[in-house]
Structure 1
Amino acid sequence: MAAVEATGLVKTFKSRKNTVKALDGIDLEIPEGTVLGLLGPNGAGKTTAVRVLTTLMRPDAGSARVLGYDVVQDADAVRSLVGLSGQYAAVDELLTGRENLWMFGRLYRLTSQQATQRADELLATFDLTEAADRTLKTYSGGMRRRLDLAGSLIAHPKVLFLDEPTTGLDPRSRIDLWKIIRDRVSEGVTILLTTQYLEEADELADSIAVVDHGSVIARGTADELKAKVGGERIEVVVHDPEEIYRALELLTEALGIADPDATTLDQHSRRITVPAPGGSSSLVDVIRTLDAAGIRIADIGLRRPTLDDVFLTLTGHEAEEKKEVVK
C-alpha cells in the first residue's frame, strides 16, 4: 500500500513581473515503510511539493493523499499523521531544548505530562539531554537540526517529511542524522526526503525521483540513475599539456569509444575523462596505452558518477547549493 500518492500536482506562483510554475504535473508514490529521495537543483520544486503534501499549501491542480486522506479535503487528518522538518529549524531561540519539545507536544494536543515524557525520550534519542535546559541561542547548527527533527517526531508520525535536513551540517552531524533516519524507517515510518546530495539518497532512499522545473524527469534507484550517465569513468591528468590531444586520441581508440561526446577534455587542468566500460581493467588499459606512447601521467583515477554528473546529464546544468528561489 502507498503511504503517499500524488497525481498531476500543479502549483503556480504569480507576481507583477512574472509567473513561475513551481510544480508542473508531478506524480509521486511512496510505499509504506520506505524512503523516497526527492532530488533536484535549486528551484526545482522540491520544497513546494513538500508543502503541498503536508497541507501547508493548496495545489492549483491534481490531487494527493497521505495514508488515504486527501491533503485538501482531509487536511486536519493528514496533519495529525505526519511530521515535518523543513529546510530551516523551526525552533524558538528564547526557549530551552526541553521547552521547545514540550511546546510541540502541547501543540499536538498531548497532555502536559505526556509532552514532558515525550520530550525526555526524544532528548535522549537525539543525544541532547545534557543541553536540554540550555536556551537555543547556545546550540550549534547540528544541535538545532537534531532538535528540529526531534520536534517533528513528537507525536509518533507515521509519515515524515524531511526537506534537505542535512544541508549545511558538518560530516559528523550528517552521519548522526542518517542513523536517526534509519532508526525511524526500521520502526515502519514512511519518509519523503528532499536532498541535493546523491550520496545521501544513496545511503537512505529505497527509490529516487529527480525533479527539475516542477516535473519528475527520472525515477529509479541510485545505481539506476548513475547508470544514466554511463557508469564508471576514468580521469587522467597528463603531465605535458602538449600531449593531451594525442592522449585522448589514443585512449578513444584503445577503449573502443565510438561516441566523441562520451569523452571530455580540459586543456587548462590537463584532464581527460573517458568511459570505463571494463571498470578496473579499463584503468589498466589506459595506463598501458599511455605508457607505451611515452605519455607521462600526473594523476589517474577510476570513479563512479557524482551528483553533478547525474544533474548534468538529466537537466543540462549542475546542482547548486544556494538558497532556493522557488518555494
Structure 2
Amino acid sequence: MKASSPDFWWHEHPSTLSKMLLPAGWVYGEITARRMNKAPSVKVHVPVICIGNLVVGGTGKTPFSIGLAKQLQRAGKRPGFLLRGFGGALKGPVQVNPDHHSAHDVGDEALLLAKVAPTVVCADRGKGALMASAGPIDVLLMDDGFQNPSLHKDLSIVLVDLSTGFGNGECLPAGPLRAPVKKQLQFADILVTVESATRKTAAGEAAMNVLTKANLPVFSTQLVACSDQQEVSGKEYIAFSGIGRPEKFFETLKREGAKVVTSVPYADHHPFTRQDAEKLVNLSALHQTPLMTTEKDFARFETRNEPEFKQLRQMTAVFKVQIEIENLAEFMRVLKKRLFAP
C-alpha cells in the first residue's frame, strides 16, 4: 500500500522539513535521472506508448489510458495495456481476467483497464511487454513506467495535473518530483495538462510556464464526469476514496454540484478491510446519507463476499470520470504521425 503524500510536498515553496530533506532529494533525483539515460534492454515488435507523469501521485493516467485506447480502437487499432499491477500480489507476467482475478491479485487499475482491452501486469516491464505483444494487439499502452528504462518506448506522453503542478518543485523525499523536471522532459514526446478544478493555482501556472518552454506539443484536457454518470447535482453524499489524491475526487464531486456531507480519505491503493466497510456503513446510517466513491476504489471490494462488503456495495454509488482532450483531432494526428506514418 502506498502511503499518503505529505502535505508539505504541495506547498508553493519548500517548507522547513522539505529543506532538511533536500540533500536526500538531490541524490534521489540524480539517481533517477541517470537511470532514465540507460539504454532499454527489451524492444517488442509493436509500438509502445508510455503514459506517465513527473511526480508521485495521481494525475489521471488511468482514465487517460482508457480514453486513448478507445480512440485507437475507433481508428481500427488493437491496443493492449501493460502495467505493474501495484497493490496486487501477482508479480506476473499474467494476463488479467476480470472474471477470475481480484484487486488483491492484480491491483485495481488493471481490473478497470482489462474491461477495455487485453491487459498484462508484470513487475518486470520487459517480460510483461513480451507477453502482451504476443497477443492479438498492434499497439501497447504502458500505464506508468516513464522513469523505467528497461522497455523501449516509441512515444512517451507525460501528464501534468495543473491543480498541483510540480508541488514545491523538489525531488523525493523533499517533494513529489521523481527527478528534476528538465531532466525528465528530455524523454517526453507529448505533454498533456489535466484540469479538474475551475480555479487556477499558482503551482499550475508555474508548471504551465515550464511546459510551454519545452518545445514539445502541449494538449489541454479536462477531467469530467462520464456521459452515463448519474446526476449528482444537489444530492448529498458521504465521499470516500483511497487514490493518489483523494481530495481531488472530493473537489470534483463538489464541482459537479454534489453536497459532500463528509469525506473519508485513505492512502493510495488502500486495501479496504471489513472494519473499514463496517465503519463506512455505520457512517452512512448515522447521517442517513448514501456513500460515493471512485471506480478504482469500488474495484477493490467489488468481489469481496463478506457481509460487510455486500452491505457496503449496496450503499455505495460509483462516480465515473473520463478525460476529454480539447483538440482531440490534432492530438490523434500527432500521435499517428509519430507512430504509424509510413
Q: Comparing both structures, which one devotes a greater share of its residues to strand?
A: 1
Measured against the shorter chain, the TM-score band is under 0.3
Q: TM-score when scaled to structure 2?
A: 0.26
Q: Which has the larger radius of gyration?
A: 1
